[in-house]
Structure 1
Amino acid sequence: MMADRRATVWLARSLPVLVALIAVPQLGRAHQIVTSRFSAPLPLPLLLAGAGGTVGLTALWLAATPESTTRSPRAVATIPSWLATGVRHGVRGSFLLAVAYALVVGITGRQVAAENIVTLFVWPVWFRGVALLSILVGSPWSLISPWRAIYDGLTRLENRELSVLGSYPAALKAWPAGVGFVLLLGITETLTVFPQSPRLTTVIVAVYAMVMVGGAVAYGPRWLREADPLGVLYRLFGRVAPLTITATEDGSYSLCVRPPWRGCLDPVEHGSLVVFVIATVYTVSFDGFTNTARFQSVLFGVRETLSTGPETSVLLYLVGLVGFVGSFGVSIWAVERLGAGSATDWLAAGRWFAPTLLPIAAAYEVAHNYPYVLRNLGQLAVVVGQQLGVAVETVSPLGWLSLPVFWGSQVVLIVLGHVVAVVAAHRVAVERYEGQAAARRGHLPLVVLMIGYTMLSLWIVSQPVIA
């Protein structure tokens, strides 16, 4: 039996256990979420031990089972070329118009976040909603990117590819995207009031647009691939997608199904993407941590100790990011030392193993943000209807979602994400190191890291949340 099928069976067997763990009624103490209370179904130590044990047992099961060939993606549907072409042009044009209209309303509309299209559209529906879509079916960014649409329009006007400063500097790699990700999503979205201000949101998007379009005009289309923080983020998330859409020789497109770890088995191109992956995992966890009372205690404690102001939260974010990068570096050094017998090529090992963290980032992204996206999508429909003069009743996509169910969904998603990551790391270790024994040894440090991160993630989502 093939390894991918074995891992799928393990996931199928693990899911009922996880559901049973979170469904045990009234066994733990209450956790306060905003202004409501519910009884957590398990004492926190038992939950952490059970989740960490699930991840550890997955690694043991993989180590004890013979390895075999990876299953290729399986086509389940075909999209005709004429339909794909029409959809491609329609979606690209519509998204560009939506961005432009949102920016206009951001300046001229009412300056209330819940009633202005730009704040409802940009942060939850665009930035986070497209991330969720990428995790499901692969990145659509090359199709909908407004910067690509503008650049393509300029090249058609000039009748040539624009690159006024020459080719993209190879030394930059994806570092501009990494810096942009930290500034845009790590700091601005998470730690500032910009997402609550329509005008400030408009300014952020306008600056983002100028940097992207200006860079593309200066260095050509490769700038949009290497330097766009959202483009790189969505492309990395797309590696986890169980559904993929690929072009065929006759111009049509195939919709394929694959295991969620399949796209995580190839290395990233360079070290800047390794850091980007780690920043992605770290930032979504840090975002969840900032919603807790524990973070507020740490924040004000550090502010008092250092006699600093609001910038302390940025300092905490950056210190934590450096710590995460360092922890991964130490783990990869140990992986290479145990798997290969020496750590002389640990940087290359980092490029191979970094993508195996993407299922963790994707799982936490979905667990943390799906209510945020759906809730704001419903509100956006209401506001757009009002602007068009159409009476739209209040849309509540999550009216059915109780706090215990939401918490339980987070637990299941986070644990399954770590299980998928363990499977991916095991497959990479088998591919990279000679013999099953070396692969098991090399896999061990990452298993320890993933067990620890599973427990940390569940500890975060189990903390009391502040209003």
Structure 2
Amino acid sequence: MTPARSASARVPRLAALLLALLAGLVVTVQPVSAHALSGTRFDAPVPLTLLYAAAAVTVLVTALAATRLVTTDARERTRKLLSPRATRVLVRGAQALALLVFAVALAQGLTGRQVRAENVATLLAWAVVFDGLALLAALLGSPWRVLAPWTAIYDGLAALEGRDPTLLNVDADPSAEPGQRVRLASWPALVAFLLLIGVFENLTVLPESPARTAVLLAAYALVMLGGLLLVGRDWLAHADPIGVFLDLVARVAPLRVARDDDGALAATLRAPWTATSEPVASLGRVAFVVAAVYTISFDGFTSTPAFRGLLFWSTDVPEIPYGVAGVALYLLGFALFLAVFALTARAADALGGRSDTRAAARRLAPTVLPIAVAYEFAHYGAYVTTSAARLLEVALAGVGYALELAPLAGVSVQAYWTFEVLVIVLGHVVAVLAAHRAALARYDASARRAHLPLTVLMVAYTVVSLWIISQPVVA
């Protein structure tokens, strides 16, 4: 083993030591609430400000260590799990099952009991698919290209016709990355993500209605299938918000399970900061990464007294409707996040001796993906777990089996909040390591200076994230 690789291997150990020290503080903090559980409180003598400081120091020290220990070496180990033939059988079976589940969800949403917690459509769509698959993608890679029902229909049509069923020929762009070689803008997926997750899920009562959820799912499927039939598979890389989101989240996965070039199912073991230090293809993807980080945090922020105060102030003073005010606050926050990231990328390029802010943004944007993943686990972990259990109960009840599940019955508020804090700080630590690796690749000798703006940004966002989960839940 070379000295550089030996040094790089010590970084996770340093991060683990710092997190262990932080854990000692976590269990002794002042009153807080666990958003994902009941919202009850627990008391301890140490102020939250000490926790914020400890978390910030953890991220800062990791950044300082990364400047000496992280290299651009990428070590991956790949092992084949199934032959190409067995993989095809597995994929076809998974697609058939996913298509069946989708049809059942549509039927139940339109004809079943119109209660969110008792309908397959709402439980499956909002909890398991839109939120839960991100947790799976962050661990094992994205399953969306297999499970998306429109992909199964498209593959079925291709098999029946014996050729690609695409109706239009779209001119290729040889300068684009593989999988995106068409002249399609990368912005449609961003707009759809902001609308679907940012507005519909977080700011409307649509998720409470099984019928409306079923209509939304049907419309989503029709748009995706229509795009596939018009321009082919590249449509998914540009217009499918969930697919794009899961592909980005999958960059963090330490164990990526996917088909290789031969069509065999293979597992690749890698450091979680390896793929997140590689650039994205366009500015549209940069904005999408920022939207993912921001929207997940915004969802938690909407349950805090601070957000309710802003919302009520905005509706009282200029007489703006409640719904319009919520969307306006969401979009203004997103614009602020974009501006901050753009300034950070520009400052990094200036300190690194470069002057191409767009290229810097494309290189540095993926390094914040571990933060999005960490907050996804912290904010949605309990919600996804309990909703998946409830989905199983409802599904079994539909075929005559009664079952009661309580997967988090033995988890205290303090224990879960400890988990939230640790996973958020761990995500920021991984992001710092990815950021320095990206800085090395772009700035070489000036990487230490160029890494400084990102370190400041991540330290600040660590504190903001912890502040959000420490706030009391407001219904």
- Return closer, same or farther for 1:421/1:74 CA change in 2, 3 Å cut-off: same
C-alpha separation between the residues in 2 aligned to 1:17 and 1:71?
29
Is the partner of 2:227 in helix, strand or coil? helix
Is the partner of 1:306 in helix, strand or coil? coil
The one of 414, 428, 431 equivalent to 2:441 is: 431
The answer to whether the Cα contact below 8 Å between 1:23 and 1:41 also exists between their aligned partners in 2 is no
The answer to whether the Cα contact below 8 Å between 1:136 and 1:238 also exists between their aligned partners in 2 is yes
1:306 aligns with 2:321: no
- Equivalent residue, structure 2, for 1:144: 147
Q: Which amino acid aligns with 2:330?
A: Y
- Return closer, same or farther for 1:276/1:68 CA change in 2, 3 Å cut-off: closer
- Return closer, same or farther for 1:19/1:199 CA change in 2, 3 Å cut-off: same
Is the partner of 1:433 in helix, strand or coil? helix
Q: Which amino acid aligns with 2:30?
A: G
Q: Which amino acid aligns with 1:350?
A: A
C-alpha separation between the residues in 2 aligned to 1:359 and 1:231?
17
C-alpha separation between the residues in 2 aligned to 1:204 and 1:431?
42
- Following superposition, the deviation at residue 249 of structure 1 comes to 6.2
1:351 aligns with 2:362: yes
**C-alpha distance after superposition, 1:253-305 (max 9, x if no partner):** 33222111111121001110000000000000000001112211111011112
- Return closer, same or farther for 1:367/1:353 CA change in 2, 3 Å cut-off: same
The answer to whether the Cα contact below 8 Å between 1:173 and 1:270 also exists between their aligned partners in 2 is no
The answer to whether the Cα contact below 8 Å between 2:375 and 2:424 also exists between their aligned partners in 1 is yes
- Return closer, same or farther for 1:30/1:339 CA change in 2, 3 Å cut-off: closer
- Equivalent residue, structure 2, for 1:414: 424
- Return closer, same or farther for 1:247/1:115 CA change in 2, 3 Å cut-off: closer
- Equivalent residue, structure 2, for 1:383: 394
- Following superposition, the deviation at residue 402 of structure 1 comes to 1.3
The one of 362, 372, 380 equivalent to 1:361 is: 372
Q: TM-score, normalised by structure 2?
A: 0.92
Q: Which amino acid aligns with 1:449?
A: L
- Return closer, same or farther for 1:35/1:240 CA change in 2, 3 Å cut-off: closer
- Equivalent residue, structure 2, for 1:19: 23
- Following superposition, the deviation at residue 248 of structure 1 comes to 4.8
The answer to whether the Cα contact below 8 Å between 2:8 and 2:70 also exists between their aligned partners in 1 is no
- Following superposition, the deviation at residue 430 of structure 1 comes to 1.0
Q: Which amino acid aligns with 2:100?
A: L
- Following superposition, the deviation at residue 157 of structure 1 comes to 3.5
- Return closer, same or farther for 1:162/1:77 CA change in 2, 3 Å cut-off: closer
The answer to whether the Cα contact below 8 Å between 1:136 and 1:242 also exists between their aligned partners in 2 is yes
**C-alpha distance after superposition, 1:119-160 (max 9, x if no partner):** 111110111111111000011111111111112223334433
Is the partner of 1:239 in helix, strand or coil? helix
- Return closer, same or farther for 1:67/1:294 CA change in 2, 3 Å cut-off: closer
C-alpha separation between the residues in 2 aligned to 1:131 and 1:366?
9
C-alpha separation between the residues in 2 aligned to 1:118 and 1:45?
42
- Return closer, same or farther for 1:51/1:32 CA change in 2, 3 Å cut-off: closer
| Unmatched segments (≥5 aa) in structure 1 | none
1:240 aligns with 2:243: no
Q: For 1:249-268, list aligned pairs within 5 A.
A: 251-268=263-280
C-alpha separation between the residues in 2 aligned to 1:84 and 1:447?
42
- Equivalent residue, structure 2, for 1:184: 196
- Equivalent residue, structure 2, for 1:205: 217
Is the partner of 2:349 in helix, strand or coil? helix
- Equivalent residue, structure 2, for 1:135: 138
The answer to whether the Cα contact below 8 Å between 2:424 and 2:462 also exists between their aligned partners in 1 is yes
Q: Which amino acid aligns with 1:320?
A: G
The answer to whether the Cα contact below 8 Å between 2:27 and 2:414 also exists between their aligned partners in 1 is no
The one of 427, 449, 452 equivalent to 2:457 is: 449
**C-alpha distance after superposition, 1:408-462 (max 9, x if no partner):** 1111011110010000010111111131xx1111000010011110111001000
1:106 aligns with 2:87: no
Q: Which amino acid aligns with 1:323?
A: L
- Return closer, same or farther for 1:76/1:186 CA change in 2, 3 Å cut-off: same
C-alpha separation between the residues in 2 aligned to 1:8 and 1:357?
18
- Equivalent residue, structure 1, for 2:348: 335
**Farther off after superposition, 331-340 or 151-160:** 151-160
1:374 aligns with 2:385: yes
The one of 41, 49, 52 equivalent to 2:56 is: 52
The answer to whether the Cα contact below 8 Å between 1:168 and 1:222 also exists between their aligned partners in 2 is no
The answer to whether the Cα contact below 8 Å between 1:113 and 1:120 also exists between their aligned partners in 2 is yes
Q: Which amino acid aligns with 1:457?
A: S
- Return closer, same or farther for 1:382/1:190 CA change in 2, 3 Å cut-off: same
- Following superposition, the deviation at residue 324 of structure 1 comes to 0.4
The answer to whether the Cα contact below 8 Å between 1:75 and 1:256 also exists between their aligned partners in 2 is yes
- Following superposition, the deviation at residue 41 of structure 1 comes to 6.4
- Following superposition, the deviation at residue 173 of structure 1 comes to 2.6
Q: Which amino acid aligns with 2:266?
A: S
- Following superposition, the deviation at residue 71 of structure 1 comes to 3.8
Q: TM-score, normalised by structure 1?
A: 0.94
- Equivalent residue, structure 2, for 1:28: 30
The answer to whether the Cα contact below 8 Å between 2:31 and 2:41 also exists between their aligned partners in 1 is no
C-alpha separation between the residues in 1 aligned to 2:287 and 2:125?
25
C-alpha separation between the residues in 2 aligned to 1:7 and 1:446?
18
The one of 95, 113, 123 equivalent to 1:120 is: 123
The answer to whether the Cα contact below 8 Å between 2:80 and 2:264 also exists between their aligned partners in 1 is no
1:162 aligns with 2:170: no
- Return closer, same or farther for 1:136/1:20 CA change in 2, 3 Å cut-off: same
- Following superposition, the deviation at residue 227 of structure 1 comes to 1.0
The answer to whether the Cα contact below 8 Å between 1:31 and 1:39 also exists between their aligned partners in 2 is no
What is the RMSD of the two structures over their aligned residues, measured on CA atoms?
Answer: 1.9
- Equivalent residue, structure 1, for 2:469: 461
- Return closer, same or farther for 1:367/1:109 CA change in 2, 3 Å cut-off: same
**C-alpha distance after superposition, 1:237-257 (max 9, x if no partner):** 000001012445665333222
**Farther off after superposition, 46-55 or 70-79:** 70-79
Is the partner of 1:434 in helix, strand or coil? helix
- Following superposition, the deviation at residue 219 of structure 1 comes to 1.5
The answer to whether the Cα contact below 8 Å between 1:138 and 1:243 also exists between their aligned partners in 2 is yes
C-alpha separation between the residues in 2 aligned to 1:257 and 1:194?
39
**C-alpha distance after superposition, 1:31-51 (max 9, x if no partner):** 586552212564121111111
C-alpha separation between the residues in 1 aligned to 2:49 and 2:259?
48
| Unmatched segments (≥5 aa) in structure 2 | 173-181
- Return closer, same or farther for 1:74/1:208 CA change in 2, 3 Å cut-off: same
Is the partner of 1:78 in helix, strand or coil? strand
Q: Which amino acid aligns with 1:86?
A: V
The answer to whether the Cα contact below 8 Å between 1:148 and 1:224 also exists between their aligned partners in 2 is no
C-alpha separation between the residues in 2 aligned to 1:149 and 1:168?
25
